[in-house]
Amino acid sequence: MPHDVRGDDAAYLWDICNSIDDLLKITDGKVYTDLEADRLLQLGVERAIEIIGEAASKVSDETKERYSEIHWSGIIAQRHVIAHEYGGIRYDKLWQIVIEHAPVLLEQLSQITLIPPPDPLPEG
């Protein structure tokens, strides 16, 4: 049975979901050859995956253990590749994330009861 995720973990999980949504929007209707040929698309895909990995690295160990079916270490490792080994990015691997892994992760996260984080910029 899912538990409520609150506080910082909720904010990080929301960031992951939002970045997956961005990733899927910018690649909607695209194919791998579009990614190969379009530097701006590459940058957008890289950035979204980087944010997903960074947010995943901030999720508490308790939440990671509770949702151990999520491949946290792989998500975080991909962020490290993009940030630190940027010259060796394999776009075929990033495309595999787009078409296979991101939708699965979004589905997994949709099963978690998230308490929306407070708006960081309340209207005033």
Strand partners, 8: none
**35 lies in which domain range?**
4-114
Is 120 contained in some domain? no
Q: Which residues of 47-73 are buried (b: 16+ CB within 10 A; e: fewer)?
A: ebbbbbbbbbbebeeebbeebeebebe
Which pTM does this prediction carry? Answer: 0.86
Percent over 90 (pLDDT), the chain: 77
- For the chain, the domain total comes to 1
User: For 109, which DSSP code?
Assistant: H
Convert the pLDDT of each residue in 28-79 to its tens digit.
999 999 999 999 999 999 999 999 999 999 999 999 999 999 999 999 999 9
Is 43 contained in some domain? yes
Q: How confident is the model at residue 84 (pLDDT cuts 50, 70, 90)?
A: very high
Structure tokens at 49: 């995956």
Is 25 contained in some domain? yes
Cα 71–Cα 118–Cα 112 angle in degrees, nearest 5: 30
Is 18 contained in some domain? yes
* Single-letter amino acid, residue 38: D
